[in-house]
Amino acid sequence: MASRMWCAVVFAALIFTGMAAAQDITLTSRDGALSISGKLTGYDGEFFRISSSYGPLTIDGQGVVCEGPACPDLTAPKALITITGAADAGAKLLPPLLAAFAKANGLTLRAGQPAVLADPILGETFAEVSFTASSPKTAHDAVLSGAAMLAFASAVEPDLGSQSVALDAMVPIVARDNPVPRVSTTDLARILSGDVTNWRDVGGPDMPLILHGLATGSDMGRALAARLGKAPAITVSHQTLAELAAAVAKDPWAIAVTGRSVTGAAKMLPLTDSCGFPLLPTRLAVKAADYPLTLPVFLLTPRHRLPFIARELLDFLSTPEAQAAVASVGYIDRSVERQPMTADGLRLINAIKGAGKATSLEDLQRLVGAMDGADRLSLTFRFEDGTNTLDAGSQANLADLAQMLEAGLFKGKSLTLAGFSDGQGDVAATMQLAQIRAEAVLAALKARVPGMPVALLPSVAAFGAALPIACDAVPAGRRLNRRVEVWLKPEFVADRPTNSLVP
């Protein structure tokens, strides 16, 4: 019933002519006092979008009369949704997302270029969705000018809106017969900078190192350049990540950085930080921003009003159905991850190996006792440098945690905000800083859910530098170590039965 009502609303209200079909129209106020002429660039059943001598204008359709050959025809509703941007993200994510969107809304989907969303009973076309790959700059300019409606990108733009779609991780890849067991972030940076051209310089055999990458101007190239401080010194370039992975897989002395979702027949080369801490691009590590080379996927949007069906598609991206579609093609969805603490023994190994003079055996024992029987949520909080102000990603996590609390999703469970610091300073100072930041998260959470009973709010615990996840010798590692995690435990655990017949 809901899907039929939705279709009826779309059929009655949705018209969008598209930039390519822009024509002259005149909009006159119903009292005749004001007229504005221009080229029609969009109409969603409620608002006209025109390009006029005053610039682009959005005008309420209820207050005007439309005259001219481009005035909408209510008997032929159709939205032209033009999408551009990152080639691999668009090609992999768009088809399953459209299929899930059509299923959730009772529409039929005819795959192709463009893909067609239609009424399953009347056969009326509601939308044609097309995708064209382009560089980040071209995609940005297209959305800004109206030549495209949406764009896949790995970074937000200050003059455009954005909607989060998925997460990926940048990972080094080599051929499966490459003998190098791992690479450090320091050595990877040297490789990408062009300072290393032989595998012997990074612990491998005396063989030339060939760096593959994407053509100049790609989203991946831009993301690497942002971290490296300059463009990667690519030796062999490719148009897509899929082509790049296939080429690397065939050459035992090639290396490249690609997305975790697009490794193809190549193998991921294990990554460590400068102190030897393993950096694993697991789902939880990427969602918690514990993995330093996270690569988000956004849909960039114009600042003006979009057609109804495009707005519905953007709203759909946050649903479980959409996130399942994201995960089905190898990307990491945005849902909250939950993992038993015992499933990550590597963290404890790192805690013991990385324990400095400020961390005592008693500290480690208290930590293990708190971890016993607990699950960790991927909601992790970090702060702007030198402050107790949550960073942008943590603000989003705070909203998610507040929503989960209000929905009663933790019934029968107890929550702990576990604060950690880096190892700089004495033990009292690091412990105090961890406590202050955990309490700052709790205070921000209380402000989000005023009136929530104290018994349902998380408790606070501080463990200082007892559980490092990255190298404390470098600023990036210290920033990862300064965090507040969310732990979940049953409120009551029954004693084990004493009957020997019961395991």
DSSP 161-209: EEEEEEEEEEEEEE-TT-----EEHHHHHHHHHT---BGGGGTS-S-B-
Q: Rounded mean pLDDT of 329-341?
A: 91
The CA-CA-CA angle for residues 437, 441, 447, to 5°, reads: 140
Residue 399, both tokens: 């909203």
Task: Compute the distance between CA of residue 294 and CA of residue 502 in angstroms, rounded to an integer.
Answer: 46
Supply the CATH classification number for the domain 338-490: 3.30.1330.60
- Taking domain 167-287, whether its CATH number is 3.40.50.300 is answered by no
Task: Compute the distance between CA of residue 43 and CA of residue 165 in angstroms, rounded to an integer.
Answer: 26
pLDDT score, position 501: 35
Q: Rounded mean pLDDT of 484-489?
A: 94
Express each pLDDT in 358-396 by its tens digit: 667 777 778 778 888 899 999 999 988 777 788 888 988
pLDDT score, position 14: 36
Compare 470 and 203 and report the one with higher pLDDT: 203
Domain residue limits, the chain: 167-287, 338-490
Task: Compute the distance between CA of residue 98 and CA of residue 111 in angstroms, rounded to an integer.
Answer: 9
Residue 375, both tokens: 């699950």
Does the pLDDT at position 24 exceed 80? yes
Going by pLDDT thresholds of 50, 70 and 90, the confidence category of residue 274 is: confident
* Residue 212 near residue 236 (C-beta atoms within 8 A): yes
pLDDT score, position 150: 97
Q: Rounded mean pLDDT of 193-204?
A: 96
Going by pLDDT thresholds of 50, 70 and 90, the confidence category of residue 187 is: very high
Query: 228: number of CA atoms within 13 Å, CB side?
Result: 21
**Which amino acid type is present at position 61?**
G
Please give the sequence-ordered ranges of beta strands (E in DSSP) within 47-160, or none if there are none. Answer: 47-52, 55-60, 64-67, 79-85, 108-110, 115-118, 125-133, 150-153
Task: Compute the distance between CA of residue 78 and CA of residue 364 in angstroms, rounded to an integer.
Answer: 63
Share of the chain above pLDDT 70, in %: 88
Does the pLDDT at position 305 exceed 90? no
Does the pLDDT at position 82 exceed 50? yes
Question: Among all chains, which residue has been given the structure tokens 């790959």?
Answer: 133
